[in-house]
Structure 1
Amino acid sequence: MGDLVEQLRSGLPAEAVVTDPDITASYRNDMASFCEAGDPAVVVLPRTVEQVQHVMRTATALRVPVVPQGALTGLSGAANAVEGCIALSLVKMDRILDIDPVNRIAVVEPGVVNAVLSKAVAEKGLYYPPDPSSWEQCTIGGNIGTGSGGLCCVKYGVTAEYVLGLEVVLADGRLMTTGRRTAKGVAGYDLTRLFVGAEGTLGIVVRAVLALRPTPPPQLVLAAEFSSVEAASDAVCRIMEGGHVPSLLELMDHTTIRAVNALANMGLPGSTQALLLAAFDTPEPSADLAEVGRLCEQAGAVAVVPADDVAESELLLQARRLSLVALETLGTTMIDDVAVPRSRLGRMLSGVSAIADKYGLTIGVCAHAGDGNTHPVVCFDAGDPDETRRARESFDEIMALGLELGGTITGEHGVGVLKKEWLARELGPTGVELQRGIRSVFDPLGILNPGKVF
């Protein structure tokens, strides 16, 4: 410990090296349940690329594990410390280095908060689409590490589609540049995509070149009430099959609606079993909403309410953004992140309901319905050992159901600690072997975020 701290301080400002156990304890874990975590030996908060390189050279020399961290808003344990590690917090590297309207790119450091970037580019008439639910706290580095998504994915895609290039500090301290600043580029293997979603196991992202879009028109939102999740899912299929491109297509089940009403008194229809929110940011959104409303009625919607203006639309979206926070008021939460083909969304939702009944638990579901990406949230009393056991077993059954339906164990939250076993099931032995081989090329000593993903 003494040698580690001394060597770190030789290349870092005094305030960048933290050893006070009362402070380092706050860097133990992210927001996931059921994920083991250790006590970091030291927390470092670099401000420059050179300082990150010094940390990695020190870690390599002393064979000390390093756990990269952002805002710790993750939901898979990917940022959890391991015992005796260096917790490498990148939140102080928070500069927006360039916003280029001609080339439609932004160059940022990893500690830039998603909402801060979004607001900065908006001032120049540009748009950074990825918007995770924690967008006001989460960092771009964390978004890249987990391959985050958000509400807009059905039209605009996920983080991976906006990362054009990276600067990465490797495990031994070398600096590598990947990707490009150009609109097109296919030179060599796509190492940029390899780092997106790697959860800090291949290197430390210290700079990112991000693609931007022109600011779209303000979106209008429609709310459709259904008497069952199956009917709401049928509406999703009709909308997508009809060739519509909503900017947002979100679903909340009855449990989630009640939780949001209890938290924020938003007046959502408490008797409905499913609420579907559809939005369009097209030049004529009212016409698109009218057509989608007709499809919802054909699928059995009991009420269809289009927003009259942007303010009303934002109110409806706020209800969706509060979903996970509201469910957290019902107890400890274990948040799943299973994506299935859109055509099987109804089977996924009804299956989750059956699992909730089987285990006698409250499980609310909110979903990026246009992507088939569901977020079943298991609510339980962490002080009750039997209920905790049932929560864990229900989580595993939900994961198994997703794979059975041809889905994936994570659409945007990542693997971390929580889903290592399930990743192995999804990839199979050959897939795991090859991915471990790739990891060993970048990190032969195994010091980068050990115990995560595999």
Structure 2
Amino acid sequence: MSTSAVVAPLTGLPALLDAVREVAPHLDVRAPSAATAPFAFDAGTVPRHGEADEDGPAVSFPSTVSEVQQLVRLAGRHGVSIVARGAGSGLSGGASATRHQLVVSTDRLDRIVEVSPADEVAVVEPGVLNAALNERLAPLGLFYAPDPASWRISTIGGNIATNAGGLRCAKYGVTRESVLALDVVLADGSLVSIGHRSIKGVTGLDLVSLFVGSEGVLGIVVGATVRIRPLPVARRTVTAFFDSTAAGAAGIGAITASRVRPSVIEFLDEPTLVGIDAAQESGLRARGAALLLIELDGFGIDEQTAELTVALESAGARVRVESDADAETLWELRRSGRRFDDDSWFVGGDVAVPKSRIAEVFAGFPALEERYGVAVSAVAHAGDGNLHPVITLPIPAGADPAAFPAVLHDAADDLVRAALAVGGTVSGEHGIGTVKRELAAEELAERVRVAQLAIKDALDPTGLFNPGKAL
């Protein structure tokens, strides 16, 4: 199988930097240095122990689409591969870069170009923060549905790159379901528009869906037309505590069997509750050993609450409608309550399985712990089967914290394979990046991988964009 699609071209970074100074001095391009070192990593690959390389990659900060085009043409001319970067909040290495590459940051491409309530769309540049778009929409009675846990700091462009999901996926879907059209700079520096402003449209192949989730390996997204929706007339938070992780995981099926479709269904197992309590002094574990944290929205919310309560209580839950103040606290604990100190090694994860198999995956954690001598816990976007496991191991006294034990990665790989065995996938929303390429190869058939690399070759024949990632 040809792998030309993921091989970086020979770098000519010094020549590129000279060319910028000579022919495009208006471009803000910074040479590799200690100041650019943070751009070598994303949130999932930044070293927790030990030192990173002294110098990072070259970094550019275009403020217009034409500047992006010029940078792409110059990089292509001098054989320098490009890594497009949003906020760097990704968790799979998709935005990591070497000192021989050029990072194209979208920090300054942060305009909300248009909001059209009549068409139910907004047009944004890729550097717009998810939170900033919703702040703009709220006074109009509208919202943008995708809400990854990093929504306050992650960009729309980064969300598009990974097809980010988040808590509301249960009802509103992942980022792909909210993207209608994209403006993309291709490897030759040309600007193309794909998709349509209308809600419906089937002309040609669905290139928008192809680019959403492609992790920047096909082109640089410089504009997006996204769907916006009316704010729900009501929202309500319901908690359901169970006596064990197994009972809570089984209780997810009771929601599916009901006629209620919550906007958010989050499942927190017992170790997660204990960990949040230790970090936040929150007292969740005193209420139960597992938690389904649920948000209802829309009309008929009393009727939804009544039916959901019956369904969950029949599954053994203790159900409570939370006050607005308590609900705000609970959602913040879910999004950012987990903490991992420097006394333990840990590796995170992101798998998705059919909803009916979630309980089976959780049931496999004790065997995984016994096999590898680690601790395993997880939170889950239970409404769409997306689990975020964390595998931890205490650092023994006197051990080198930078000597990350292979057993953690082995355990994480086995957990992914357990998800694949029940019809799941290696990533539900974090993407493949550098972290999961080998595991993705186990999921995808050989012919499918060949087809994906052929698409990469057709759009980016020299491997200019984000080589070594995703595919």
Q: Same fold (TM over 0.5)?
A: yes
Give how far 1:137 is off.
Answer: 0.6
Deviations 1:315-342 (A, max 9, x none): 221121124x424677443221110001
Runs of 4 or more off by more than 4 Å in structure 1?
Answer: 10-15, 37-41, 327-330, 384-387
Map of 1:169 onto structure 2: 185
Aligned residue in 1 for 2:30: 18
Q: Mean alpha-carbon deviation: is it higher for 405-414 or for 329-338? A: 329-338
CA contact (8 A) 1:167 1:178 kept: yes
1:94 aligns with 2:110: yes
Question: Which amino acid letter does the alignment assign opposite residue 333 of structure 1?
Answer: F
Q: For the residues of structure 1 that align with 2:403 and 2:212, how far apart are their CA atoms? A: 38
Unaligned runs of 5+ in 1: none
Q: Is the 8 Å Cα contact of residues 249 and 358 (structure 2) preserved in structure 1?
A: yes
Q: Distance in 2 between matches of 1:12 and 1:249?
A: 51
Per-residue deviation at 1:270?
A: 4.0
Alignment of 1:284-303 (within 5 A): 284-301=300-317, 303=318
Q: Is the 8 A contact 2:163 2:429 kept in 1?
A: yes
The equivalences for 1:255-404 within 5 A come to: 255-270=271-286, 272-301=288-317, 303-307=318-322, 309-323=323-337, 325-327=338-340, 331-380=344-393, 383-384=400-401, 388-404=405-421
What pairs with 1:406-445 in structure 2 (closer than 5 Å)? 406-445=423-462
Partner of 1:27: 39
Which amino acid in the other structure matches residue 326 of structure 2? Answer: E
Match 1:7 to one of 19, 40, 43: 19
Q: CA deviation at 1:194?
A: 0.5
Give, in whole Å, the separation in 2 of the partners of 1:337 and 1:408.
9
Within a 5 Å distance, the mapping from 1:106-185 to structure 2 comes to 106-185=122-201
**Contact preservation (8 Å) 2:27, 2:62:** no
Residue 430 of structure 1 aligns with an amino acid whose one-letter code is R
Q: Aligned partner of 2:220: which letter?
A: I
The secondary structure found in structure 1 opposite 2:415 is helix
The number of residue pairs the alignment matches comes to 450
**CA–CA separation in structure 1 for the residues paired with 2:57 and 2:315:** 57
Residues 40 and 99, structure 2, Cα contact 8 Å, conserved in 1: no
Quick one: which amino acid aligns to residue 320 of structure 2? V
1:404 is displaced (CA, Å) by 0.5
Give a deviation string over 1:360-387, Cα, whole Å, max 9, x none: 2232211000111000012345745776
Distance in 2 separating the partners of 1:162 and 1:271? 37
Q: Calculate percent identity across the aligned residue pairs.
A: 39
How far apart, CA to CA, are the structure 2 residues paired with 1:166 and 1:241? 37
Deviation of residue 61 (structure 1)? 0.6
8 Å CA contact 2:352, 2:386 repeated in 1: yes
TM-score of the two chains, using structure 2 as the length reference: 0.91
What SS does structure 2 have at the residue aligned with 1:257?
A: helix
Structure 1 residues 217 and 328, CA gap change in structure 2 (3 angstroms):
farther
Please tell me the root mean square deviation across aligned C-alpha atoms, in Å.
2.0
Within the candidate set 262, 281, 287, 1:246 is matched to 262
Per the alignment, residue 193 of structure 1 pairs with 209
8 Å Cα contact 1:279/1:289 also seen in 2: no
- Equivalents in 2 of 1:224, 1:140: separation in Å? 32
Whether the 8 Å contact between 1:165 and 1:181 is mirrored in structure 2 is yes
CA-CA distance at 1:141 after TM superposition: 0.5
Distance of aligned partners of 1:9 and 1:149 in 2 relative to their CA distance in 1, 3 Å threshold: farther
Give the structure 1 partner of residue 7 of structure 2: none
Gaps (5+ residues) in structure 2?
1-12
Judge conservation of contact 1:108–1:209 (CA < 8 Å) in 2: yes
What is the identity, as a one-letter code, of the residue corresponding to 1:306? V
1:14, distance to aligned residue in structure 2 (A) = 5.1
Q: Do the aligned partners of 2:45 and 2:96 also contact (CA within 8 Å) in 1? A: no
C-alpha separation in 2, matches of 1:25 and 1:402: 35
- Cα displacement string for residues 274-296 of structure 1 (whole angstroms, at most 9, x for unaligned residues): 11112101223233223222222
CA distance in 1, matches of 2:162, 2:140: 28
| CA–CA distance in structure 1, aligned partners of residues 258 and 334 of structure 2 | 24
Bigger shift: residues 252-261 or 364-373: 252-261
User: Which sits farther off after the overlay, 314-323 or 416-425?
Assistant: 314-323
Deviation per residue, 1:4-52 (Å, 9 max, x gap): 11223456555711125111111000022499x9865411010100000
SS of the residue 2:217 aligns to:
coil
Which TM-score applies when normalising by structure 1?
0.94
SS of 2:463's partner is coil
Give distance in 2, aligned partners of 1:290 and 1:267.
26
CA distances 1:224-243 after superposition (whole Å, capped 9, x unpaired): 11122222122211211222
- 339-348 or 221-230, larger mean C-alpha shift: 221-230
> 1:123 aligns to what SS in structure 2?
helix
Rate the CA distance shift 1:33–1:281 in 2: closer, same or farther, 3 A: same
Instruction: Note closer, same or farther for the CA distance 1:114–1:13 as it changes in structure 2 (3 Å cut).
Output: farther
Instruction: Name the amino acid aligned to 1:397.
Output: D
| 1:352 and 1:376 in contact (8 A); partners too | no
Could you say what secondary structure the match of 2:285 adopts?
A: coil
Q: Aligned equivalents of 2:448 and 2:231: distance in 1?
A: 40
In structure 1, distance between residues paired with 2:44 and 2:346: 8
Taking the aligned partners of 2:279 and 2:43, their CA distance within structure 1 comes to 20
Of 412, 422, 425 in structure 2, the residue corresponding to residue 405 of structure 1 is: 422
CA distance in 2, matches of 1:73, 1:192: 23
**Matches of 1:385 and 1:353 in 2, distance apart?**
27
Structure 1 counterpart of 2:121, from 82, 105, 108 = 105
SS at match of 1:370: coil
Distance in 2 (alpha carbons) for counterparts of 1:298 and 1:346: 17
Contact (CA 8 Å) 2:361, 2:419: kept in 1 or not?
A: yes
